[in-house]
Amino acid sequence: MRIALLLTLLFIPACAPVRRGWDAGWSERAAKDRIMLVRESPETLGHRRLVYQSAAHPDLGNFLKGKGMPDFIAETSSDDRQYLILYYLDTRRAFACRTRRSPGTLIDFAGPYPMTDRETKLLRQLKENSRRDG
């Protein structure tokens, strides 16, 4: 089963703007097992998590400089691993990222994977709903 589809079915959307003053631990717990909109203004949890993860893992920052910011991310973790899925709606592609939980560790990138029609439709609806609500 494709990882992007599996994670899409497991995650709950998180599109609300973030509040200032969150520490990384709290926002990591809030991000676990969620699909999050990435928007800078008003800032969303997805944007906040990408900024944090890029600071902790410079190769992610380099990847984002080359590909641009995704429309959505999904984040989950296990005891010693962190996983991200980066969703790009315009190209209907997703990238999977895996790393150790320690800052500065390298990220393994996989993809791009084609997004299904269902994934694309769901994420486009979430993005449109966030425009009306935010």
Written as tens digits, the pLDDT of the chain (134 aa) is: 444 444 444 443 444 444 444 444 445 565 566 789 999 988 999 999 999 889 989 999 999 999 999 999 999 888 889 899 999 999 999 999 999 888 788 999 999 999 999 999 999 999 998 887 65
Beta bridge partners of 95: 86
Asked if 99 and 57 count as a contact pair (C-beta separation under 8 A), the reply is yes
Q: What pLDDT shows up at residue 86?
A: 97
pLDDT of residue 87: 97
Confidence (pLDDT) at 134: 58
Query: In the chain, count of helices (H) and strands (E)?
Result: 5, 6
CA-CA distance, 105 to 99, in Å (whole number)? Answer: 7
pTM summary value: 0.77
Could you tell me which residues come within 8 angstroms of residue 33 by beta carbon, excluding any fewer than 6 positions away? 10, 11, 12, 75, 76
